[in-house]
Amino acid sequence: MIQFLDFEKKTKVIFKDKNLLKQAFIHRSYINENGASSLSHNERLEFLGDAVLELVVTDFLYKKYPNYTEGELTAVRSALVNAIIISEIAGDVGMNDYLLLSKGEAKDFGKARQYILANTFEAFIGAMYLDQGYEVVDKFIAKTLLPKTEEIVKKKLWRDAKSLVQEKAQEFVSVTPLYKVLHESGPDHDKHFTVGVYFGGELITEGKGKSKQEAEQSAALAALKLKNWLD
């Protein structure tokens, strides 16, 4: 049985309700394989955490960049809370060691794991909000995620990635990028998409998101990084 004492020490967030903390790490596949568990999977907590995370980041950006337009603030926020960055933060704080997954999911360390980590981070934010309140969540996000803001703004990673990929691809390889949905899962109210960006017939990178548009932006940003086209 996974114990979360070391994780609590590392994050300096000690939960009053240990079951709530554990639930944040329970993937749907684990419940499907261990039906007798008294706890549910983390998707409701993820739903809550997504909203809390967006509020914390929005409040921070609104105060930090008073001269940015609504569109610019939205773009920076989207770049900051995308699955790639959030999964990196989740990995940095050690969440990967505590995931409760099915045996099949536990063997997959590719793109699927990245997406699971991002969702777990949001679920943990939701659990922390319920257990500790807004101020503790605000401090945790300020310590773990918000330091990424400087890099995003300095390198202008908030720019529309699809537009930039199209501009660079036409300039350097004389093609127009094409986006294809490679995979979609989940019920209608909670769809998850994997989209590939192609140059000609070649798959360059993939991206994930809760909408096709978000997944396309994620794939485009990954392509920009891969091709070293971020100036």
Q: Which parts of 28-93 fold into alpha helices (H)?
A: 28-33, 43-64, 70-80, 83-92
Give the pLDDT of residue 63: 97
Our answer to whether residue 88 is catalytic in this structure is no
Which residues face 100 on adjacent strands?
Answer: 26
Give CA–CA dist 179/13, Å, rounded: 41
Q: Please tell me whether 46 is known to bind a ligand.
A: yes
Per-residue pLDDT of the chain (231 residues; tens, 9 = 90+): 468 899 999 999 999 999 999 999 999 888 877 765 677 899 999 999 999 999 999 999 999 999 998 988 888 898 888 888 899 999 999 999 999 888 777 766 666 788 899 999 999 999 999 999 999 999 999 999 999 998 888 877 667 788 889 989 999 999 999 999 999 988 777 788 999 999 999 999 998 887 888 889 889 988 988 998 876
State the pairing for strand pair 202-209/192-199.
Answer: antiparallel
CA-based radius of gyration for the chain: 18
> Known catalytic residue: 131?
no
The pLDDT of residue 231: 63
Q: Per the annotation, does 82 bind a ligand?
A: no
Which of the residues 105, 122, 206, 216 is marked catalytic?
Answer: 122
Q: Give the chain's domains with CATH numbers.
A: 5-154 (1.10.1520.10), 161-226 (3.30.160.20)
Quote the pTM value. Answer: 0.72
Q: Are 49 and 134 in contact (CB under 8 A)?
A: no
Backbone angles phi, psi at 68, to 5 degrees: -80, 145
Which run of H or of E encompasses 209?
strand 202-209
pLDDT of residue 188: 77
148: tokens are 């990424």
Consecutive H or E run containing 134:
helix 134-144
| Residues near 115 by beta carbon (within 8 Å), at least 6 away in sequence | 83, 87, 192, 208
**216 labelled binding-site residue:** no
Contact between 27 and 116 under an 8 Å Cβ cutoff? The reply is yes
Q: Which pLDDT score is estimated for 120?
A: 96
- Predicted pLDDT of residue 109: 66
Residues listed for the chain: 231
d(CA 49, CA 152): 22
Q: Which position among 6, 8, 50, 88 bears the catalytic label? A: 50
Residue 120, Cα to own-chain centre: how many angstroms?
9
